[in-house]
Structure 1
């Protein structure tokens, strides 16, 4: 069982950005699994992303948000969240996203759902004993 830390006002703001992003860009209730995500840089700037659902896979919203942050120069990130369409609320990252978070941003806090409401954990807490790949610097 993960020990979730309480949300901050900044965490709530990040959840709201992800929710607004998915609500504005959802594929609707026709069975398409639409997710929005938001990530915060150390400078407080926030970056949003939306998944590209495709039967072959496609990038998750978290990866799109990470890519957008990087494209805009944010290299140090503090917190990430994903929110589902149609009012599904905060959702945890998939295994691929967890591995990428651990590899690129091991100190990032991830907002997760729980029975008592959302809270945060470190990405490394999501994959204890994970394979550690170190990306080569640009």
Structure 2
């Protein structure tokens, strides 16, 4: 799928959150998701030894609390916004189950691309 201007803006939004909020080992990734209406919901992961929460899961929780029903596109960035990261296997399954038409931005930050979330289920690693 082709990257749209709104997709590039979503990468920038996630990168801005990462630069601002991912300043410790407890928060290393930031996600941003866009609704069909253009609203953006963001969040960061929570690293904790027994088990934390992925940034994508935090975004889904934030979307629910804000009354968002459908997400159109999601992106996750790391390295304080310098790297686009594909969702982990668990998040891929969750996103595909909840939003089967979701578009996911993956690939290198200097040349990202958009793929359907269902395509990620069959792909071992599109992250880096």
Q: TM-score, normalised by structure 2?
A: 0.87
Task: Tell me, yes or no, if structure 1 residue 81 matches structure 2 residue 40.
Answer: no
Match of 1:22 in 2: 18
CA RMSD in angstroms, aligned pairs only: 1.8
2:121 corresponds in structure 1 to 127
Shift of 1:89: 1.5
Distance 2:16 2:47 in 1: 18
**The structure with more helix, counted as a fraction of residues:** 2
TM-score, normalized by length of structure 1?
A: 0.81
Structure label with greater radius of gyration: 1
Moved over 3 A (4+): none
Tell me which moved more, 111-120 or 89-98: 111-120
Unaligned runs of 5+ in 2: 123-128
What residue in structure 1 maps to residue 125 of structure 2?
A: none
Structure 1: tracts of 5 or more residues without a match: 129-138
Distance 2:77 2:48 in 1: 18
